[in-house]
């Protein structure tokens, strides 16, 4: 067992799948000779050649559409968004073609494509490079949306996404690429539609995903000191949401705090609260608390940026509040 | 009278077509025309819904290009896609049933007029937004080269054809895809059907350079100006482009000068276009012109023309009966086809 960075775990996943299946290829800006802006495709150009690790011009909507056309006709492209925010330029292709085309075509074509890359709020990258597109894309039918958070789940999930016959939007977080972890020596694949229980507990269910998992776990350390026993669930799959896992936890804790990095309005949490009310209302002791990013373009100034996203102290406070509400 | 751009005369080797090929092309053009006439009638009678864009007048382009291709080549269309689908081999029954929203339609009634698909016939779609089909067609072309070079598939010599209009040539995807196709020498043909009008926007009011074929040279691929009312000229140009693509020499752009006889869609009152302009193009009707050529070359007789017309009428009528008698999709299948496993 060796410590592996998250970016390298992703690289291993792509390498293993490319060597296993000749139809798997990577395309995007600077994925080839440059090795990827976060080195996720480092050395793969030398190993697999320029057609399988295709450096594209800066033309997001057209190369995304090209990947979809290649997927419709038999390849399994992995399309890298150098920054997932750039894929706003490919919104039409991701929505109309990746998401809806199978249905619109009455099942004529399948679209086994993975669209992956870094998202989330980094460190003072400014508004355009700090987007959380998962919230924008969640309404598109036909897409699967996954957010990895550890080297281990990054590798197992990306391998599953590549093998899946559906279009998968795969979100990595710009601040997590250098997280390190021991990975299993043997090959493993993780299910795309299952949440991951990070910590079991009985007091309150904290639902989170991607980098916010680490903000939550910082808060949990402090909460443990105060005698609380929270359950932490990393959603992993943002579409479809694993309501089996959420339901099982709510039946135990009867309290829910959602911690997300997307904006509050139209966010992932908004959808989850609505569905929890539909499915598990009678199990709740009180309203679900939602901690989201502020509804503003992410500011550059460090102090303002910190105010924009959820901090551990806010999570701590929210858990204490929901626990006191029971007393 | 509008000053019309002179239609190019075809000056290469005299167009040659065998009797067998000529009849295939002639029947295909007639099928396109009769099918669309029937659609117009059905729309007026309220049988067909949605936005319906008819192809009348442009038949020489679909028939000229697609009937010069092989059945394993790829075709990618726009919202004006009925006739491209028919030429690609999708049975009239399936196209008509799709217009009726029936389960037997080529897209199982989920797509409608603007979304004809057929994997069996390598019909990559009916795309409703301007330009979005071009990258998809490019992806099919990339896949062909990939299969040949990466996977060592010697049979991978197919060609992909993307059809789109003059309006689309002001869209970024057009330029981006010309660039990538030339950069990677992909086996694709960009077929511009320049019918002069993007709904109500005249081409010369939308494009700083109206001669679209000239835009190809900027990206280093050949571009040809073709009389899109002459099926033999289109066919000859298409053959050159197809051979080039199949030989691995890369893409070609064909600008076919043509005209749509009807409005942009059946909902368009078509009040902007000058009646004289319409007449100018109707006088160059591609079907009448090809029919005259076939007669002149003794490749067909008046009696055969009559019998072919009657046969195609029957095909269209049969497609209508089939569509009317076909079942609607099962309401229980509302969510079917969202995912690959469905």
Give strand ranges (E) for chain B: 74-76, 160-165, 188-194, 197-198, 201-202, 223-227, 252-257
A119 in reach of chain B (CB within 8 A): no
Nearest to B212 by CA among B187, B191, B234, B185: B191
**How many angstroms separate the CA atoms of B16 and B13, rounded?**
8
Summarize pLDDT for A132-147 with one digit per residue, the tens. 999 999 999 999 999 9
pLDDT of residue B10: 58
In a domain, B3, yes or no: no
**How many angstroms separate the CA atoms of A73 and A239, rounded?**
25
Strands A180-182 and A3-5: antiparallel
For B117, the closest of A56, A75, A108 (CB atoms) is A108
List of domains in chain A: 3-182 (3.40.50.970), 196-326 (3.40.50.920)
| Residue of chain A nearest B149, judged by CA positions | A51
Interface touch B138/A64, C-beta < 8 Å: no
Chain A residues close to B180, C-beta within 8 Å: 56-57, 59, 62-63, 66
Would you say A111 and B125 are in contact if contact means Cβ atoms under 8 Å apart?
A: no
Interface touch B139/A97, C-beta < 8 Å: no
CB proximity list for A73: less than 8 A, separation 6 or greater: B74, B124, B139, B140, B143, B144
How far is A114 from chain B, CA to nearest CA, in Å?
14
pLDDT bucket at A327, cuts 50 / 70 / 90: very low
If residue A215 lies in a helix (H) or strand (E), which one and from where to where? helix A212-225
Summarize pLDDT for B95-122 with one digit per residue, the tens. 999 999 999 999 999 999 999 999 999 9
In a domain, B271, yes or no: yes
In a domain, B1, yes or no: no
Chain B residues close to A60, C-beta within 8 Å: none
Summarize pLDDT for A27-86 with one digit per residue, the tens. 999 999 999 999 999 999 999 999 999 999 999 999 999 999 999 999 999 999 999 999
The radius of gyration of chain A's CA atoms, rounded to the nearest angstrom, is 20
pLDDT of residue B8: 80
**How many angstroms separate the CA atoms of B131 and B219, rounded?**
18
Spans of chain B, pLDDT less than 50: 12
pLDDT bucket at A231, cuts 50 / 70 / 90: very high
Would you say A26 and A78 are in contact if contact means Cβ atoms under 8 Å apart?
A: yes
For A166, the closest of B111, B179, B339 (CB atoms) is B339
Give the number of other Cβ atoms within 10 Å of residue A170's Cβ: 27
In this prediction, residues A290-295 reach a mean pLDDT of 98
The token pair at A118 is 């870094």
How far is B103 from chain A, CA to nearest CA, in Å?
9
Chain A residues close to B134, C-beta within 8 Å: 62, 65
CATH number at residue B301: 3.40.50.970
Chains A and B form CB pairs within 8 A to the count of 153
**How many angstroms separate the CA atoms of A299 and A123, rounded?**
10
Q: Measure Cα distances from B15 to A132, B64, B253, B255, B296 in Å.
A: 57, 12, 20, 18, 14
Interface touch A59/B176, C-beta < 8 Å: yes
In a domain, B337, yes or no: no
Phi-psi region of B219 (alpha: psi -120 to 50; beta: other; left: phi over 0): alpha
Chain A residues close to B106, C-beta within 8 Å: 106, 108
**How many angstroms separate the CA atoms of B129 and B7, rounded?**
29
pLDDT of residue A325: 82
pLDDT of residue B185: 98
How far is B265 from chain A, CA to nearest CA, in Å?
20
Strands A196-199 and A231-234: antiparallel
**How many angstroms separate the CA atoms of A272 and B178, rounded?**
43
Interface of A with B in 238-257 (CB under 8 A): none
3-state SS class at A31: coil
**How many angstroms separate the CA atoms of B179 and A158, rounded?**
31
Interface of B with A in 84-123 (CB under 8 A): 105-111, 115, 117-119
**How many angstroms separate the CA atoms of B119 and B110, rounded?**
15
Domain that holds residue B52: 19-323
Nearest to B206 by CA among B164, B258, B170, B256: B170
In a domain, B245, yes or no: yes
In a domain, B8, yes or no: no
How much of chain A is helix, strand and coil, in % rounded to 5? 40, 20, 40
Q: Render the burial of B225-256: b for 16+ CB within 10 Å, e for the rest.
A: bbbbbbbbbbbbbbebbbebbbeeebbbbbbb
Q: Measure Cα distances from A14 to A11, A118, A168, B45 in Å.
A: 5, 16, 14, 55
Number of domains in chain B: 1
Would you say A167 and A115 are in contact if contact means Cβ atoms under 8 Å apart?
A: yes
Mean pLDDT value across chain A: 97
In a domain, B11, yes or no: no
Residues of A that are catalytic: 60, 129
B342 in reach of chain A (CB within 8 A): yes
Chain B residues close to A108, C-beta within 8 Å: 106-107, 117-119
CB proximity list for B110: less than 8 A, separation 6 or greater: A103, A104, A105, A106, B329, B337
Sign of the Cα torsion A46, A62, B161, B342 reads: positive
In a domain, B166, yes or no: yes
Chain B residues close to A61, C-beta within 8 Å: 135, 172-173, 176
Q: Measure Cα distances from A195 to A141, A168, A244, A276 in Å.
A: 20, 16, 9, 15
B136 in reach of chain A (CB within 8 A): yes
pLDDT of residue A326: 52
Interface touch B124/A69, C-beta < 8 Å: yes
Asked whether residue A1 carries a pLDDT value surpassing 60, the answer given is no
**How many angstroms separate the CA atoms of B212 and A233, rounded?**
56
Would you say A315 and A291 are in contact if contact means Cβ atoms under 8 Å apart?
A: yes
How far is A180 from chain B, CA to nearest CA, in Å?
34
For B150, the closest of A22, A72, A92 (CB atoms) is A22
Q: Measure Cα distances from A258 to A122, A307, A325, B68 in Å.
A: 21, 18, 16, 59
Chain A residues close to B186, C-beta within 8 Å: none
The ipTM, to two decimals, is 0.96
3-state SS class at B216: helix
């Amino acid at each position: 067992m060796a410590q592996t960075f998250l970016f390298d775990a992703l690289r291993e996943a792509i390498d293993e799948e490319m060597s296993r299946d000749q139809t798997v290829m990577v395309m995007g800006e600077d994925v080839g000779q440059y090795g990827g802006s976060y080195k996720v495709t480092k050395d793969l150009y030398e190993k697999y050649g320029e057609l399988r690790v295709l450096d594209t011009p800066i033309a997001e909507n057209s190369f995304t559409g090209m990947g979809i056309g290649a997927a419709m006709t038999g390849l399994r492209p992995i399309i890298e968004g150098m920054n997932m925010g750039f894929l706003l330029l490919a919104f039409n292709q991701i929505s109309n073609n990746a998401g809806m085309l199978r249905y619109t075509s009455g099942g004529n074509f399948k679209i086994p494509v993975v669209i992956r890359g870094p998202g989330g709020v980094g460190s003072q990258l400014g508004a355009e490079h700090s987007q959380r597109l998962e919230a924008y894309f969640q309404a598109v039918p036909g897409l699967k949306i996954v957010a990895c958070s550890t080297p281990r789940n990054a590798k197992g999930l990306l391998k599953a996404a590549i093998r899946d016959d559906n279009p998968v939007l795969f979100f990595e977080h710009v601040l997590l690429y250098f997280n390190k972890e021991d990975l299993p020596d043997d090959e493993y694949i993780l299910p795309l539609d299952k949440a991951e229980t990070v910590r079991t507990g009985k007091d309150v269910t904290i639902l989170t995903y991607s980098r916010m998992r680490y903000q939550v776990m910082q808060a949990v350390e402090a909460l443990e000191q105060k005698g609380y026993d929270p359950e932490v669930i990393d959603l992993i799959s943002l579409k479809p949401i694993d309501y089996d896992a959420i339901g099982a936890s709510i039946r135990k804790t009867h309290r829910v705090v959602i911690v997300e990095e997307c904006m509050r309005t139209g966010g992932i949490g908004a959808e989850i609260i609505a569905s929890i009310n539909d499915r598990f209302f009678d199990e709740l002791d009180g309203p679900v608390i939602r901690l989201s990013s502020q509804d503003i373009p992410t500011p550059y100034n460090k102090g303002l940026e910190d105010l924009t996203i959820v901090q551990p102290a806010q999570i701590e406070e929210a858990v204490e509040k929901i626990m006191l509400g029971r007393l | 009278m509008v000053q019309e751009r002179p239609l190019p005369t075809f000056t290469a080797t005299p167009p040659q077509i065998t009797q067998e090929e000529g009849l295939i092309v002639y029947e295909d053009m007639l099928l396109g025309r009769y099918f669309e006439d029937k659609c117009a009638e059905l729309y007026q009678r309220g049988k067909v819904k949605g936005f319906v864009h008819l192809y009348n007048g442009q038949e020489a382009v679909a028939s000229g290009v697609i009937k010069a291709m092989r059945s394993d080549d790829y075709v990618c269309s726009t919202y004006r896609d009925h006739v491209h689908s028919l030429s690609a081999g999708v049975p009239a029954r399936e196209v008509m049933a799709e217009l009726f929203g029936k389960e037997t339609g080529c897209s199982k009634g989920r797509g409608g007029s603007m979304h004809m698909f057929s994997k069996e016939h390598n019909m990559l779609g009916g795309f409703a937004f301007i330009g979005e089909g071009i990258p998809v067609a490019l992806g099919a072309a990339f896949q062909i080269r990939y299969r040949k070079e990466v996977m060592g598939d010697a049979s991978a010599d197919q060609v992909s054809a993307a059809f789109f209009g003059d309006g689309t040539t002001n869209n970024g995807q057009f330029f981006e895809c010309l660039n990538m196709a030339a950069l990677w020498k992909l086996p694709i043909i960009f077929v511009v059907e320049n019918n002069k009008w993007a709904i109500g926007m005249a081409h010369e009011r939308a494009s700083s350079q109206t001669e679209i074929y000239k835009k190809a040279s900027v990206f280093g691929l050949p571009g040809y100006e073709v009389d899109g009312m002459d099926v033999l000229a289109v066919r000859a140009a298409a053959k050159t482009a197809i051979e080039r693509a199949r030989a691995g020499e890369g893409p070609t752009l064909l600008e076919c000068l043509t005209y749509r006889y009807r409005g942009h869609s059946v909902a368009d009152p078509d009040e902007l276009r000058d009646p004289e302009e319409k007449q100018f193009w109707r006088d160059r009707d591609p079907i009448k012109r090809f029919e005259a050529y076939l007669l002149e070359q003794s490749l067909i007789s008046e009696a055969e023309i009559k019998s072919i017309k009657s046969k195609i009428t029957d095909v269209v009528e049969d497609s209508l009966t089939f569509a009317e008698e076909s079942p609607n999709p099962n309401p229980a299948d509302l969510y079917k086809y969202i995912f690959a496993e469905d």
